[in-house]
């Protein structure tokens, strides 16, 4: 991700399935609850309101050379999102909370199994490793690490660069010069991924658990029920930039 607007969009998608006119959390066959960002208009019951970045702190900055003249800057942040759920029915507002809580956990804290390096099924071709056992249509890879460092996922084979991976129809491709024997593949057993097959980890959103459940009453004719809670979110923003030419020798003429 490059911008915080992308973080907000992904978080809305975690809270509800994207449709043509917005994001909706399905409660049953008759009820789908929309979510909004900082909505000022009157509430349409039931609904979910999201307030992003109540707190937002940069906790780490890393730089990685991916090509001779290109560097990748990675900034890691810890943010907090507030969620408010509104309904005119007490049982419904709590049902929405439970379904939303479970959906957030499924995206950000899935049940994961870790696979190591498989010498028998891994081939080294040109400058990348290939394993045919992992394929795009049936694989939920959350994250890949080598020497305990996460590799970047790319969308196309031709975009592979040092310390990155690509999952295609034929299998898994990994490009790295680090010790492949330390490979760890985090695979989602139970949890949710985005419609494009990417997990939250693959999109640089990391483990989080909602907290601070509060049941509040609204003054609107004493009919409106409200539940509020917060979601801490660790995320990464990336920026690529070009380096100037490397000066090997300077000749000074007097």
- Cβ-in-10-Å burial (0-12, 13-18, 19+) of 57 comes to exposed
227-251 average pLDDT score:
79
Whole-prediction pTM value? 0.76
- Helices 4-15, 90-108: axis angle to 10 degrees equals 120
Residue 245 has pLDDT above 80, yes or no: no
| Residue 142 half-sphere exposure toward CB, CA atoms < 13 A | 23
- Write down the pLDDT at residue 253: 63
**Tens of pLDDT along 61-101?**
988 776 667 788 889 999 999 999 999 999 999 999 999 99
231 Ramachandran zone, left/alpha/beta (phi>0; psi -120 to 50): beta
Least confident of 21-30, 129-138, 188-197, 212-221: 212-221
Measured distance CA(186)–CA(102) in Å, rounded: 21
Q: List the one residue out of 52, 177, 183, 191 whose CA is nearest residue 126.
A: 177
Confidence of residue 126 (pLDDT cuts 50, 70, 90): confident
Comparing 238 with 251, which gets the higher pLDDT?
238
Fold of 1-110+191-241: STM4215-like (3.30.2000)
DSSP label at residue 30 = S
**Tens of pLDDT along 195-238?**
877 788 888 898 778 888 888 765 455 678 999 999 999 999 98
Residue 179 has pLDDT above 60, yes or no: yes
With contact defined as beta carbons under 8 Å apart, do 134 and 122 qualify?
Answer: no
| pLDDT > 70 in the chain, percent | 89
- Write down the pLDDT at residue 246: 58
Extents of the domains making up the chain: 1-110+191-241, 111-190
Residue 58 has pLDDT above 80, yes or no: yes
């Amino acid at each position: 991700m490059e911008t915080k607007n992308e973080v907000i969009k992904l978080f809305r998608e975690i809270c509800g399935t994207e449709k043509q006119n917005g994001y909706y959390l399905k409660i049953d066959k008759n009820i789908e609850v929309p979510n909004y960002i900082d909505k000022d208009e009157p509430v349409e019951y039931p609904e979910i309101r999201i307030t992003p970045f109540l707190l937002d702190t940069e906790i780490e900055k890393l730089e990685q050379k991916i090509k001779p003249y290109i560097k990748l800057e990675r900034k890691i942040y810890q943010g907090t999102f507030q969620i408010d759920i509104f309904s005119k029915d007490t049982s419904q507002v709590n049902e929405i909370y439970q379904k939303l809580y479970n959906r957030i956990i499924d995206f950000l804290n899935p049940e994961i199994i870790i696979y190591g390096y498989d010498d028998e099924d891994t081939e080294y071709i040109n400058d990348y490793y290939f394993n045919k056992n992992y394929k795009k249509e049936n694989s939920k890879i959350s994250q890949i690490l080598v020497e305990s460092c996460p590799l970047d996922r790319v969308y196309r084979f031709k975009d592979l660069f040092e310390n990155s991976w690509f999952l295609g129809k034929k299998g898994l491709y990994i490009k790295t010069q680090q010790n492949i024997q330390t490979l760890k593949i985090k695979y989602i057993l139970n949890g949710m991924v985005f419609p494009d097959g990417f997990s939250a980890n693959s999109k640089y959103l990391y483990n989080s658990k909602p907290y601070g459940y509060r049941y509040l009453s609204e003054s609107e004719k004493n009919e409106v029920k409200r539940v509020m809670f917060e979601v801490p979110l660790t995320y990464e923003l990336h920026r690529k930039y070009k380096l100037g030419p490397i000066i090997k020798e300077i000749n000074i003429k007097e």
